[in-house]
Structure 1
Protein backbone atom coordinates (compact mmCIF):
# COMPACT_ATOMS: atom_id res chain seq x y z
CA UNK A 1 0.00 0.00 0.00
CA UNK A 2 1.57 3.34 -1.05
CA UNK A 3 2.15 5.88 1.70
CA UNK A 4 3.31 9.51 1.72
CA UNK A 5 4.30 11.47 4.82
CA UNK A 6 4.94 15.22 4.88
CA UNK A 7 5.46 17.88 7.52
CA UNK A 8 2.78 20.55 7.55
CA UNK A 9 3.65 24.25 7.67
CA UNK A 10 4.55 26.49 9.35
CA UNK A 11 6.85 24.66 11.81
CA UNK A 12 6.70 21.11 10.40
CA UNK A 13 5.81 19.57 13.77
CA UNK A 14 2.62 17.98 12.46
CA UNK A 15 3.12 14.96 10.20
CA UNK A 16 0.47 14.34 7.56
CA UNK A 17 0.28 10.73 6.38
CA UNK A 18 -1.76 9.60 3.38
CA UNK A 19 -2.20 5.99 2.27
CA UNK A 20 -4.18 4.49 -0.58
CA UNK A 21 -4.85 1.30 -2.49
CA UNK A 22 -4.72 0.58 -6.22
CA UNK A 23 -6.30 3.22 -8.47
CA UNK A 24 -6.42 5.62 -5.50
CA UNK A 25 -9.15 3.77 -3.65
CA UNK A 26 -9.61 3.91 0.15
CA UNK A 27 -7.42 6.97 0.46
CA UNK A 28 -6.81 7.47 4.19
CA UNK A 29 -5.59 10.63 5.96
CA UNK A 30 -3.82 10.68 9.33
CA UNK A 31 -2.29 13.56 11.27
CA UNK A 32 0.40 12.61 13.82
CA UNK A 33 -0.99 9.08 13.74
CA UNK A 34 -4.57 10.20 14.43
CA UNK A 35 -7.20 9.21 11.90
CA UNK A 36 -8.71 12.20 10.07
CA UNK A 37 -10.85 10.69 7.33
CA UNK A 38 -11.19 8.49 4.26
CA UNK A 39 -12.00 8.96 0.58
CA UNK A 40 -13.43 5.71 -0.77
CA UNK A 41 -12.65 6.35 -4.45
CA UNK A 42 -10.72 9.40 -5.64
CA UNK A 43 -11.96 8.99 -9.22
CA UNK A 44 -15.60 9.42 -8.18
CA UNK A 45 -14.92 12.30 -5.79
CA UNK A 46 -17.81 14.76 -5.85
CA UNK A 47 -16.81 18.34 -6.66
CA UNK A 48 -13.26 17.17 -7.50
CA UNK A 49 -12.12 17.84 -3.91
CA UNK A 50 -12.87 17.14 -0.26
CA UNK A 51 -11.98 19.19 2.80
CA UNK A 52 -11.34 17.83 6.30
CA UNK A 53 -11.59 20.23 9.26
CA UNK A 54 -9.28 19.89 12.27
CA UNK A 55 -10.11 20.81 15.86
CA UNK A 56 -8.12 24.06 15.69
CA UNK A 57 -10.04 25.21 12.62
CA UNK A 58 -7.33 24.25 10.11
CA UNK A 59 -8.35 22.65 6.83
CA UNK A 60 -6.80 19.79 4.87
CA UNK A 61 -8.07 19.64 1.28
CA UNK A 62 -7.60 16.70 -1.08
CA UNK A 63 -7.92 17.69 -4.74
CA UNK A 64 -8.26 15.39 -7.72
CA UNK A 65 -5.66 16.22 -10.38
CA UNK A 66 -7.06 17.62 -13.59
CA UNK A 67 -5.23 15.79 -16.40
CA UNK A 68 -3.61 12.77 -14.76
CA UNK A 69 -4.37 10.20 -12.09
CA UNK A 70 -3.44 11.39 -8.64
CA UNK A 71 -4.16 14.05 -6.08
CA UNK A 72 -2.84 17.24 -4.50
CA UNK A 73 -2.95 18.21 -0.84
CA UNK A 74 -3.53 21.72 0.48
CA UNK A 75 -3.32 22.94 4.07
CA UNK A 76 -5.37 26.08 4.71
CA UNK A 77 -5.44 26.69 0.93
CA UNK A 78 -1.62 26.44 0.72
CA UNK A 79 -0.09 23.76 -1.50
CA UNK A 80 1.69 21.00 0.45
CA UNK A 81 2.43 18.25 -2.09
CA UNK A 82 1.11 16.45 -5.15
CA UNK A 83 1.21 12.77 -6.05
CA UNK A 84 0.49 11.45 -9.54
CA UNK A 85 1.57 8.92 -12.15
CA UNK A 86 4.35 11.29 -13.29
CA UNK A 87 5.94 11.57 -9.86
CA UNK A 88 5.72 13.37 -6.54
CA UNK A 89 6.32 17.05 -6.00
CA UNK A 90 6.13 19.17 -2.88
CA UNK A 91 6.32 22.81 -1.90
CA UNK A 92 9.73 22.15 -0.31
CA UNK A 93 11.33 20.20 -3.16
CA UNK A 94 10.63 18.34 -6.36
CA UNK A 95 12.84 15.27 -6.07
CA UNK A 96 10.54 13.22 -8.28
CA UNK A 97 10.82 15.80 -11.07
CA UNK A 98 14.61 16.04 -10.74
CA UNK A 99 14.95 12.24 -10.87
CA UNK A 100 12.91 12.10 -14.07
CA UNK A 101 14.86 15.00 -15.58
CA UNK A 102 18.13 13.25 -14.72
CA UNK A 103 16.96 10.06 -16.45
CA UNK A 104 15.98 11.99 -19.59
CA UNK A 105 19.37 13.74 -19.65
CA UNK A 106 21.16 10.40 -19.35
CA UNK A 107 19.29 9.17 -22.43
CA UNK A 108 20.11 12.39 -24.33
CA UNK A 109 23.79 12.10 -23.39
CA UNK A 110 24.04 8.48 -24.54
CA UNK A 111 22.34 9.35 -27.83
CA UNK A 112 24.81 12.20 -28.41
CA UNK A 113 27.80 9.93 -27.78
CA UNK A 114 26.44 7.46 -30.35
CA UNK A 115 25.63 10.29 -32.72
CA UNK A 116 29.17 11.65 -32.63
CA UNK A 117 30.34 8.36 -34.15
CA UNK A 118 27.48 7.30 -36.42
CA UNK A 119 25.05 10.21 -36.77
CA UNK A 120 26.43 11.86 -39.89
CA UNK A 121 26.58 8.50 -41.66
CA UNK A 122 23.02 7.28 -41.03
CA UNK A 123 20.15 9.50 -42.14
CA UNK A 124 17.69 8.03 -39.63
CA UNK A 125 19.91 8.99 -36.69
CA UNK A 126 20.21 12.46 -38.19
CA UNK A 127 16.43 12.80 -38.16
CA UNK A 128 15.95 11.18 -34.76
CA UNK A 129 18.61 12.95 -32.74
CA UNK A 130 18.83 16.36 -34.38
CA UNK A 131 21.67 17.63 -32.20
CA UNK A 132 22.38 20.61 -34.45
CA UNK A 133 23.43 18.22 -37.22
CA UNK A 134 21.64 20.24 -39.95
CA UNK A 135 23.37 23.40 -38.70
CA UNK A 136 26.80 21.78 -38.44
CA UNK A 137 26.57 20.11 -41.83
CA UNK A 138 25.56 23.41 -43.44
CA UNK A 139 28.46 25.22 -41.77
CA UNK A 140 30.96 22.64 -42.98
CA UNK A 141 29.20 22.16 -46.36
CA UNK A 142 28.86 18.44 -45.69
CA UNK A 143 32.63 18.10 -45.54
CA UNK A 144 35.18 17.83 -42.73
CA UNK A 145 33.13 15.16 -40.98
CA UNK A 146 35.73 14.66 -38.20
CA UNK A 147 35.14 18.28 -37.13
CA UNK A 148 31.38 17.64 -36.99
CA UNK A 149 31.96 14.50 -34.93
CA UNK A 150 34.22 16.39 -32.50
CA UNK A 151 31.60 19.10 -32.00
CA UNK A 152 28.94 16.47 -31.32
CA UNK A 153 31.29 14.79 -28.86
CA UNK A 154 31.72 18.15 -27.12
CA UNK A 155 27.92 18.47 -26.90
CA UNK A 156 27.90 15.02 -25.31
CA UNK A 157 30.31 16.29 -22.67
CA UNK A 158 28.14 19.37 -22.08
CA UNK A 159 25.06 17.21 -21.56
CA UNK A 160 27.08 14.92 -19.27
CA UNK A 161 28.09 17.88 -17.07
CA UNK A 162 24.49 19.11 -17.02
CA UNK A 163 23.34 15.61 -16.05
CA UNK A 164 25.62 15.67 -13.00
CA UNK A 165 24.31 19.12 -12.10
CA UNK A 166 20.68 18.03 -12.36
CA UNK A 167 21.45 14.87 -10.35
CA UNK A 168 22.71 17.22 -7.62
CA UNK A 169 19.41 19.16 -7.81
CA UNK A 170 20.82 22.23 -9.59
CA UNK A 171 17.99 24.28 -11.06
CA UNK A 172 20.49 26.31 -13.10
CA UNK A 173 21.87 23.18 -14.78
CA UNK A 174 18.36 21.94 -15.52
CA UNK A 175 17.30 25.31 -16.96
CA UNK A 176 20.36 25.33 -19.26
CA UNK A 177 19.60 21.75 -20.36
CA UNK A 178 15.97 22.60 -21.13
CA UNK A 179 16.97 25.71 -23.12
CA UNK A 180 19.68 23.83 -25.06
CA UNK A 181 17.47 20.86 -25.90
CA UNK A 182 14.51 23.13 -26.76
CA UNK A 183 16.65 25.24 -29.10
CA UNK A 184 17.95 22.08 -30.75
CA UNK A 185 14.36 20.85 -31.21
CA UNK A 186 13.22 24.16 -32.71
CA UNK A 187 16.21 24.17 -35.08
CA UNK A 188 15.45 20.60 -36.14
CA UNK A 189 11.81 21.56 -36.71
CA UNK A 190 12.80 24.48 -38.95
CA UNK A 191 15.24 22.28 -40.86
CA UNK A 192 12.66 19.50 -41.24
CA UNK A 193 10.03 21.71 -42.83
CA UNK A 194 12.37 23.81 -45.01
CA UNK A 195 14.93 21.34 -46.39
CA UNK A 196 14.86 21.30 -50.20
CA UNK A 197 11.23 22.35 -50.16
CA UNK A 198 10.15 18.71 -49.79
CA UNK A 199 7.50 17.37 -47.46
CA UNK A 200 8.82 16.03 -44.13
CA UNK A 201 8.87 12.28 -43.67
CA UNK A 202 6.71 10.47 -41.13
CA UNK A 203 9.89 9.68 -39.19
CA UNK A 204 10.70 13.39 -38.93
CA UNK A 205 7.22 14.27 -37.68
CA UNK A 206 7.24 11.40 -35.20
CA UNK A 207 10.69 12.50 -34.02
CA UNK A 208 9.52 16.04 -33.36
CA UNK A 209 6.60 14.75 -31.29
CA UNK A 210 8.98 12.56 -29.27
CA UNK A 211 11.34 15.48 -28.70
CA UNK A 212 8.47 17.72 -27.55
CA UNK A 213 7.48 14.97 -25.15
CA UNK A 214 11.06 14.64 -23.88
CA UNK A 215 11.25 18.41 -23.42
CA UNK A 216 8.15 18.27 -21.24
CA UNK A 217 9.59 15.43 -19.17
CA UNK A 218 12.94 17.21 -18.91
CA UNK A 219 11.24 20.33 -17.57
CA UNK A 220 9.38 18.53 -14.76
CA UNK A 221 12.21 19.28 -12.34
CA UNK A 222 11.55 23.00 -12.82
CA UNK A 223 8.00 22.66 -11.51
CA UNK A 224 7.74 24.56 -8.25
CA UNK A 225 4.17 24.57 -7.00
CA UNK A 226 3.81 27.60 -4.72
CA UNK A 227 0.27 28.59 -3.87
CA UNK A 228 -2.94 26.92 -4.93
CA UNK A 229 -6.54 27.76 -4.21
CA UNK A 230 -8.63 25.05 -2.61
CA UNK A 231 -11.60 26.06 -4.75
CA UNK A 232 -9.79 25.28 -8.03
CA UNK A 233 -8.58 22.09 -9.62
CA UNK A 234 -4.95 21.15 -8.99
CA UNK A 235 -2.92 21.95 -12.09
CA UNK A 236 0.70 22.85 -12.85
CA UNK A 237 1.75 24.50 -16.15
CA UNK A 238 4.75 22.23 -16.71
CA UNK A 239 2.75 19.09 -15.89
CA UNK A 240 0.01 20.39 -18.19
CA UNK A 241 2.54 20.65 -21.04
CA UNK A 242 3.91 17.20 -20.23
CA UNK A 243 0.42 15.67 -20.14
CA UNK A 244 -0.63 17.25 -23.43
CA UNK A 245 2.57 16.11 -25.15
CA UNK A 246 2.02 12.56 -23.90
CA UNK A 247 -1.55 12.61 -25.20
CA UNK A 248 -0.29 13.73 -28.62
CA UNK A 249 2.32 10.97 -28.63
CA UNK A 250 -0.31 8.36 -27.72
CA UNK A 251 -2.57 9.57 -30.53
CA UNK A 252 0.31 8.97 -32.95
CA UNK A 253 1.50 5.64 -31.54
CA UNK A 254 -1.91 4.00 -31.05
CA UNK A 255 -2.92 3.96 -34.76
CA UNK A 256 0.52 2.63 -35.70
CA UNK A 257 0.27 -0.13 -33.07
CA UNK A 258 -3.26 -1.01 -34.21
CA UNK A 259 -2.02 -1.24 -37.79
CA UNK A 260 0.77 -3.73 -37.00
CA UNK A 261 -0.73 -5.74 -34.11
CA UNK A 262 -4.36 -4.82 -33.36
CA UNK A 263 -5.03 -7.98 -31.34
CA UNK A 264 -2.32 -7.26 -28.73
CA UNK A 265 -3.36 -3.62 -28.38
CA UNK A 266 -7.06 -4.38 -27.93
CA UNK A 267 -6.27 -7.22 -25.53
CA UNK A 268 -4.04 -4.92 -23.47
CA UNK A 269 -6.76 -2.27 -23.26
CA UNK A 270 -9.27 -4.94 -22.25
CA UNK A 271 -7.05 -6.20 -19.41
CA UNK A 272 -6.45 -2.63 -18.20
CA UNK A 273 -10.19 -1.96 -18.02
CA UNK A 274 -10.74 -5.24 -16.17
CA UNK A 275 -8.15 -4.25 -13.54
CA UNK A 276 -9.77 -0.84 -13.05
Structure 2
Protein backbone atom coordinates (compact mmCIF):
# COMPACT_ATOMS: atom_id res chain seq x y z
CA UNK A 1 0.00 0.00 0.00
CA UNK A 2 2.78 2.44 0.88
CA UNK A 3 5.46 3.50 -1.56
CA UNK A 4 7.70 4.89 1.17
CA UNK A 5 7.80 5.89 4.85
CA UNK A 6 9.92 8.95 5.68
CA UNK A 7 10.96 9.49 9.29
CA UNK A 8 11.47 13.12 10.33
CA UNK A 9 15.08 13.99 11.22
CA UNK A 10 16.20 16.64 13.72
CA UNK A 11 17.55 19.88 12.23
CA UNK A 12 18.79 22.93 14.14
CA UNK A 13 17.69 26.32 12.82
CA UNK A 14 19.37 28.31 15.57
CA UNK A 15 20.91 27.54 18.97
CA UNK A 16 18.21 25.93 21.07
CA UNK A 17 15.69 25.76 18.22
CA UNK A 18 15.43 22.29 16.71
CA UNK A 19 12.79 21.21 14.21
CA UNK A 20 11.69 17.96 12.61
CA UNK A 21 12.75 17.91 8.95
CA UNK A 22 10.66 15.73 6.65
CA UNK A 23 11.53 16.90 3.12
CA UNK A 24 13.79 16.81 1.20
CA UNK A 25 14.74 13.16 1.76
CA UNK A 26 17.47 11.25 -0.03
CA UNK A 27 15.01 8.74 -1.52
CA UNK A 28 12.26 11.29 -2.15
CA UNK A 29 13.42 14.79 -2.99
CA UNK A 30 9.90 16.06 -3.70
CA UNK A 31 6.27 15.06 -3.16
CA UNK A 32 4.35 16.55 -6.06
CA UNK A 33 5.58 20.17 -6.11
CA UNK A 34 6.44 20.13 -2.37
CA UNK A 35 10.23 20.23 -2.00
CA UNK A 36 10.64 21.05 1.70
CA UNK A 37 8.75 20.41 4.94
CA UNK A 38 9.62 21.26 8.55
CA UNK A 39 7.60 20.67 11.72
CA UNK A 40 8.54 22.98 14.60
CA UNK A 41 7.33 22.44 18.14
CA UNK A 42 5.59 22.24 20.41
CA UNK A 43 8.27 24.70 21.60
CA UNK A 44 8.92 25.21 25.29
CA UNK A 45 11.51 27.83 26.23
CA UNK A 46 11.70 30.48 28.93
CA UNK A 47 10.50 33.96 27.87
CA UNK A 48 14.06 35.26 28.27
CA UNK A 49 15.16 32.83 25.53
CA UNK A 50 12.46 33.88 23.08
CA UNK A 51 14.80 35.81 20.76
CA UNK A 52 17.00 32.70 20.37
CA UNK A 53 14.25 31.21 18.22
CA UNK A 54 14.31 34.07 15.71
CA UNK A 55 15.07 33.24 12.08
CA UNK A 56 17.04 36.25 10.79
CA UNK A 57 16.51 37.76 7.32
CA UNK A 58 17.51 35.27 4.62
CA UNK A 59 16.81 34.94 0.88
CA UNK A 60 14.75 32.64 -1.37
CA UNK A 61 14.28 32.17 -5.10
CA UNK A 62 12.18 29.85 -7.28
CA UNK A 63 9.60 28.73 -4.73
CA UNK A 64 6.62 29.61 -2.59
CA UNK A 65 6.76 29.21 1.18
CA UNK A 66 3.66 28.18 3.12
CA UNK A 67 3.47 28.94 6.85
CA UNK A 68 0.75 27.22 8.91
CA UNK A 69 0.47 27.31 12.69
CA UNK A 70 -1.22 24.93 15.13
CA UNK A 71 -0.52 27.31 18.02
CA UNK A 72 1.34 30.47 19.05
CA UNK A 73 2.25 33.29 16.69
CA UNK A 74 5.16 34.47 14.54
CA UNK A 75 5.93 37.87 13.01
CA UNK A 76 6.86 37.77 9.32
CA UNK A 77 8.74 40.69 7.73
CA UNK A 78 9.96 40.69 4.14
CA UNK A 79 11.77 42.79 1.55
CA UNK A 80 8.44 43.87 0.02
CA UNK A 81 7.79 45.79 3.23
CA UNK A 82 5.15 43.32 4.44
CA UNK A 83 4.84 42.86 8.19
CA UNK A 84 2.35 40.17 9.16
CA UNK A 85 1.63 38.45 12.47
CA UNK A 86 0.96 34.80 11.58
CA UNK A 87 -1.67 33.10 13.75
CA UNK A 88 -3.12 29.57 13.92
CA UNK A 89 -5.40 28.48 11.10
CA UNK A 90 -4.22 31.11 8.62
CA UNK A 91 -2.40 30.42 5.37
CA UNK A 92 0.58 32.66 4.72
CA UNK A 93 1.78 32.15 1.16
CA UNK A 94 4.98 33.90 0.08
CA UNK A 95 6.11 33.55 -3.52
CA UNK A 96 9.84 34.20 -3.80
CA UNK A 97 10.01 34.03 -7.59
CA UNK A 98 12.98 36.08 -8.78
CA UNK A 99 14.10 36.80 -5.22
CA UNK A 100 12.89 37.87 -1.79
CA UNK A 101 14.24 37.99 1.74
CA UNK A 102 12.30 37.65 4.97
CA UNK A 103 12.60 37.07 8.69
CA UNK A 104 10.49 35.23 11.23
CA UNK A 105 10.52 36.63 14.76
CA UNK A 106 9.04 35.20 17.93
CA UNK A 107 8.17 38.38 19.79
CA UNK A 108 5.20 37.54 22.02
CA UNK A 109 6.07 35.63 25.24
CA UNK A 110 2.43 34.57 25.56
CA UNK A 111 2.81 32.63 22.30
CA UNK A 112 5.04 30.16 24.14
CA UNK A 113 2.80 29.64 27.15
CA UNK A 114 2.37 25.94 27.83
CA UNK A 115 4.39 24.97 24.79
CA UNK A 116 1.77 26.55 22.53
CA UNK A 117 4.06 27.40 19.61
CA UNK A 118 3.80 24.77 16.89
CA UNK A 119 4.03 25.28 13.15
CA UNK A 120 4.47 23.60 9.77
CA UNK A 121 6.59 25.14 7.04
CA UNK A 122 6.57 23.87 3.47
CA UNK A 123 8.17 25.04 0.24
CA UNK A 124 6.34 24.58 -3.04
CA UNK A 125 8.57 24.62 -6.13
CA UNK A 126 7.39 26.86 -8.95
CA UNK A 127 6.86 25.72 -12.55
CA UNK A 128 9.68 26.82 -14.84
CA UNK A 129 7.48 29.54 -16.37
CA UNK A 130 6.92 31.07 -12.92
CA UNK A 131 10.38 30.72 -11.37
CA UNK A 132 11.18 34.37 -12.10
CA UNK A 133 7.75 35.72 -11.15
CA UNK A 134 7.53 38.92 -9.14
CA UNK A 135 7.76 38.25 -5.39
CA UNK A 136 4.48 38.38 -3.46
CA UNK A 137 3.02 37.68 -0.04
CA UNK A 138 -0.63 36.96 0.81
CA UNK A 139 -2.28 36.21 4.14
CA UNK A 140 -5.48 34.14 4.01
CA UNK A 141 -7.75 34.14 7.06
CA UNK A 142 -9.34 30.92 8.42
CA UNK A 143 -12.81 31.94 7.24
CA UNK A 144 -11.49 31.90 3.65
CA UNK A 145 -10.53 28.23 3.95
CA UNK A 146 -13.27 25.60 3.54
CA UNK A 147 -13.95 23.10 6.33
CA UNK A 148 -15.24 19.55 5.88
CA UNK A 149 -16.64 17.48 8.75
CA UNK A 150 -18.19 14.08 9.26
CA UNK A 151 -18.37 11.94 12.41
CA UNK A 152 -14.84 11.68 13.83
CA UNK A 153 -13.30 13.81 11.05
CA UNK A 154 -12.45 17.51 10.75
CA UNK A 155 -10.59 18.89 7.71
CA UNK A 156 -9.43 22.35 6.63
CA UNK A 157 -8.26 22.77 3.03
CA UNK A 158 -5.10 24.87 3.16
CA UNK A 159 -4.51 25.09 -0.59
CA UNK A 160 -5.30 23.43 -3.89
CA UNK A 161 -8.16 21.01 -4.57
CA UNK A 162 -9.24 17.90 -2.65
CA UNK A 163 -12.46 16.12 -1.67
CA UNK A 164 -14.46 18.41 -3.96
CA UNK A 165 -13.19 21.48 -2.09
CA UNK A 166 -11.16 24.41 -3.34
CA UNK A 167 -10.35 27.88 -2.04
CA UNK A 168 -8.91 31.22 -3.14
CA UNK A 169 -5.30 30.48 -2.16
CA UNK A 170 -3.30 31.21 -5.31
CA UNK A 171 -1.14 28.29 -6.39
CA UNK A 172 0.98 27.83 -9.51
CA UNK A 173 0.51 24.11 -10.21
CA UNK A 174 -1.95 21.31 -9.35
CA UNK A 175 -1.60 20.35 -5.67
CA UNK A 176 -3.45 19.76 -2.43
CA UNK A 177 -2.60 20.59 1.18
CA UNK A 178 -4.96 19.91 4.09
CA UNK A 179 -5.03 19.86 7.89
CA UNK A 180 -6.99 16.87 9.22
CA UNK A 181 -7.99 15.91 12.77
CA UNK A 182 -9.27 12.36 13.36
CA UNK A 183 -10.90 10.93 16.46
CA UNK A 184 -10.11 7.35 17.57
CA UNK A 185 -11.71 4.81 15.26
CA UNK A 186 -12.25 7.26 12.40
CA UNK A 187 -11.33 6.08 8.91
CA UNK A 188 -10.22 8.50 6.21
CA UNK A 189 -8.84 8.15 2.70
CA UNK A 190 -6.43 10.32 0.71
CA UNK A 191 -7.85 12.46 -2.10
CA UNK A 192 -7.92 10.95 -5.56
CA UNK A 193 -6.84 12.53 -8.83
CA UNK A 194 -3.26 13.40 -7.82
CA UNK A 195 -0.13 11.59 -9.01
CA UNK A 196 1.71 11.83 -5.69
CA UNK A 197 0.13 11.88 -2.24
CA UNK A 198 1.35 11.84 1.32
CA UNK A 199 0.08 11.93 4.89
CA UNK A 200 2.34 13.43 7.56
CA UNK A 201 1.42 12.34 11.08
CA UNK A 202 1.91 15.38 13.30
CA UNK A 203 0.26 13.75 16.34
CA UNK A 204 -1.13 10.34 17.20
CA UNK A 205 -1.03 6.94 15.51
CA UNK A 206 -2.77 5.54 12.46
CA UNK A 207 -3.07 2.09 10.97
CA UNK A 208 -2.74 1.44 7.25
CA UNK A 209 -3.24 -2.07 5.85
CA UNK A 210 -2.72 -3.58 9.29
CA UNK A 211 0.50 -1.69 10.15
CA UNK A 212 0.91 1.10 12.70
CA UNK A 213 2.57 4.44 12.02
CA UNK A 214 3.16 7.31 14.41
CA UNK A 215 4.02 10.94 14.92
CA UNK A 216 6.91 12.26 12.84
CA UNK A 217 6.35 9.91 9.89
CA UNK A 218 5.37 10.88 6.34
CA UNK A 219 3.50 8.11 4.53
CA UNK A 220 3.94 8.35 0.74
CA UNK A 221 1.44 6.81 -1.69
CA UNK A 222 1.36 6.61 -5.48
CA UNK A 223 -1.72 7.13 -7.68
CA UNK A 224 -2.42 3.40 -7.92
CA UNK A 225 -3.13 3.06 -4.20
CA UNK A 226 -6.40 3.91 -2.48
CA UNK A 227 -5.30 3.89 1.17
CA UNK A 228 -7.55 4.14 4.20
CA UNK A 229 -6.07 5.56 7.39
CA UNK A 230 -7.56 4.29 10.66
CA UNK A 231 -7.00 6.54 13.67
CA UNK A 232 -5.85 4.51 16.68
CA UNK A 233 -5.97 7.58 18.94
CA UNK A 234 -6.65 11.31 18.44
CA UNK A 235 -4.59 12.25 15.36
CA UNK A 236 -3.48 15.38 13.57
CA UNK A 237 -2.45 14.84 9.95
CA UNK A 238 -1.16 17.05 7.16
CA UNK A 239 -2.13 15.71 3.75
CA UNK A 240 -0.15 16.98 0.77
CA UNK A 241 0.88 16.21 -2.78
CA UNK A 242 0.07 16.95 -6.39
CA UNK A 243 1.69 16.77 -9.79
CA UNK A 244 5.49 16.53 -10.22
CA UNK A 245 7.24 19.49 -11.83
CA UNK A 246 10.43 17.76 -12.95
CA UNK A 247 13.94 17.97 -11.54
CA UNK A 248 14.72 20.79 -9.15
CA UNK A 249 18.03 21.79 -7.59
CA UNK A 250 18.14 22.97 -4.00
CA UNK A 251 21.01 24.67 -2.19
CA UNK A 252 20.46 26.38 1.15
CA UNK A 253 17.25 28.42 0.64
CA UNK A 254 17.41 28.52 -3.16
CA UNK A 255 15.40 26.30 -5.52
CA UNK A 256 15.64 26.29 -9.31
CA UNK A 257 15.36 24.11 -12.40
CA UNK A 258 18.78 25.48 -13.42
CA UNK A 259 22.08 25.06 -11.56
CA UNK A 260 23.44 28.33 -12.90
CA UNK A 261 20.47 30.24 -11.44
CA UNK A 262 21.37 29.04 -7.96
CA UNK A 263 24.94 30.20 -8.49
CA UNK A 264 23.60 33.61 -9.48
CA UNK A 265 21.40 33.76 -6.37
CA UNK A 266 24.39 32.94 -4.19
CA UNK A 267 26.34 35.79 -5.75
CA UNK A 268 23.37 38.16 -5.48
CA UNK A 269 22.92 37.53 -1.76
CA UNK A 270 26.62 37.85 -1.04
CA UNK A 271 26.79 41.13 -2.96
CA UNK A 272 23.68 42.60 -1.32
CA UNK A 273 21.62 42.61 -4.50
CA UNK A 274 18.65 40.94 -2.75
CA UNK A 275 17.14 43.61 -0.51
CA UNK A 276 16.61 43.11 3.20
CA UNK A 277 13.24 43.73 4.87
CA UNK A 278 13.09 47.52 5.36
CA UNK A 279 11.75 47.09 8.91
CA UNK A 280 14.21 44.30 9.85
CA UNK A 281 17.55 45.08 8.22
CA UNK A 282 20.02 45.37 11.10
CA UNK A 283 21.19 41.74 10.79
CA UNK A 284 20.90 38.85 8.36
CA UNK A 285 22.06 35.30 7.71
CA UNK A 286 25.30 35.31 5.66
CA UNK A 287 25.78 32.98 2.73
CA UNK A 288 27.05 29.65 4.10
CA UNK A 289 30.58 28.61 3.33
CA UNK A 290 30.13 26.15 0.49
CA UNK A 291 32.19 23.07 1.32
CA UNK A 292 29.43 20.79 0.14
CA UNK A 293 28.78 19.12 -3.16
CA UNK A 294 28.01 21.31 -6.21
CA UNK A 295 24.67 23.09 -6.15
CA UNK A 296 21.91 20.76 -7.25
CA UNK A 297 23.53 17.47 -6.32
CA UNK A 298 22.03 17.61 -2.84
CA UNK A 299 20.48 19.91 -0.30
CA UNK A 300 23.66 20.97 1.52
CA UNK A 301 24.15 23.37 3.16
CA UNK A 302 20.92 22.61 5.01
CA UNK A 303 18.16 25.21 4.65
CA UNK A 304 18.37 27.88 7.33
CA UNK A 305 14.80 29.00 7.31
CA UNK A 306 11.58 27.77 8.73
CA UNK A 307 10.10 29.03 5.52
Indicate the TM-score class for this superposition, using the shorter chain for normalisation: under 0.3
Q: Return the structure number with greater strand share.
A: 2
Larger C-alpha radius of gyration, 1 or 2?
1
TM-score normalised by length of structure 2: 0.22
Q: Return the structure number with greater helix share.
A: 1
Higher relative contact order (CA 8 A, sep 6+): 2
TM-score normalised by length of structure 1: 0.24
